[in-house]
Amino acid sequence: SGGQRQRVMIAMALACRPQLLVADEPTTALDVMVQAQVLRLIGGLVAEQGIALLMISHDLGVLAGTCDTLAVMYAGRIVEEGPARAVHEAARHPYGRALSAAFPRIGDPASRRAPQGLPGDPPDPAALPTGCAFHPRCPVAVAACTTEDQVLVAAGEAHRAACLHLSAPEGSTP
Ligand code: SF4
């Protein structure tokens, strides 16, 4: 089964006694029960053996439940980073908010029937938009977003995001 293959892969990786485990979409295509088992297995081994874990996934829920820190990337750059639960539940960057909203919420049937999405597609890495690369898809973009590049700024305790609204005067944040 997919779950057994995942466990064998994890065992092979850990047999080399690594200091860092890079898990790229380790639970993709697994049903939720096996996904939970694999995540428990990884979490337990990482804690027991003191291994650092770098997990790569599109599933913010899985990341928030497994990792201490979460970084959101868009167009090849980190646009938000911070404590995993804060980034998942209270994202400050519009892309982070869109990712969170794309997942159905337990106990909210409406979110299952009509998950929210984003217009358009990710940009071509060889021809990134000017300014903030997210501006063609951003629901709160303003004119300056097409010309001003953004860097990570404080967005809460140990939480940073790259959006001009975070450095705009108080009261103007959408
Ligand atoms: S800088 Fe502008 S385009 Fe980029 S995320 Fe913020 S509001 Fe959206």
**Could you report the per-residue pLDDT of 80-113, keeping only the tens digit for each?**
999 999 999 999 999 999 988 887 766 677 666 6
- Residue nearest to ligand 1 atom 4, measured at CA: 132
Distance from the CA of 163 to the center of ligand 1, in angstroms?
5
Q: How many angstroms separate the CA atoms of 63 and 39, rounded?
A: 10
Q: How many angstroms separate the CA atoms of 174 and 171, rounded?
A: 8
- Cβ of 140 less than 6 Å from ligand 1: yes
H/E run at residue 53: strand 52-56
Q: Report whether 89 contacts 83 (CB < 8 A).
A: no
Q: Specify the pLDDT at position 168.
A: 62
- Residue nearest to ligand 1 atom 5, measured at CA: 163
Best probe residue, ligand 1, of 165, 167, 173 (max atoms within 8 Å of C-beta): 165
Task: Summarize the confidence of residues 42-46 as an average pLDDT.
Answer: 85
> Which residues contact residue 113 at a Cβ distance below 8 angstroms, ignoring those fewer than 6 apart?
none
- Could you read off the pLDDT of 122-149 as tens digits, one per residue? 999 999 999 999 999 999 999 999 999 9
Domain boundaries, the chain: 1-56, 68-116+129-174
Q: How many angstroms separate the CA atoms of 3 and 37, rounded?
A: 8
Q: Torsion-angle region of residue 148: left (phi > 0), alpha (psi -120 to 50) or beta?
A: beta
- Quick one: which atom of ligand 1 is closest to the CA of 166? 6
**In this model, does residue 32 exceed pLDDT 90?**
no
Tally Cβ neighbours within 10 Å of residue 156.
Answer: 14
- Quick one: which atom of ligand 1 is closest to the CA of 148? 1
Distance from the CA of 57 to the center of ligand 1, in angstroms?
23
pTM of the predicted structure, to 2 decimals: 0.84
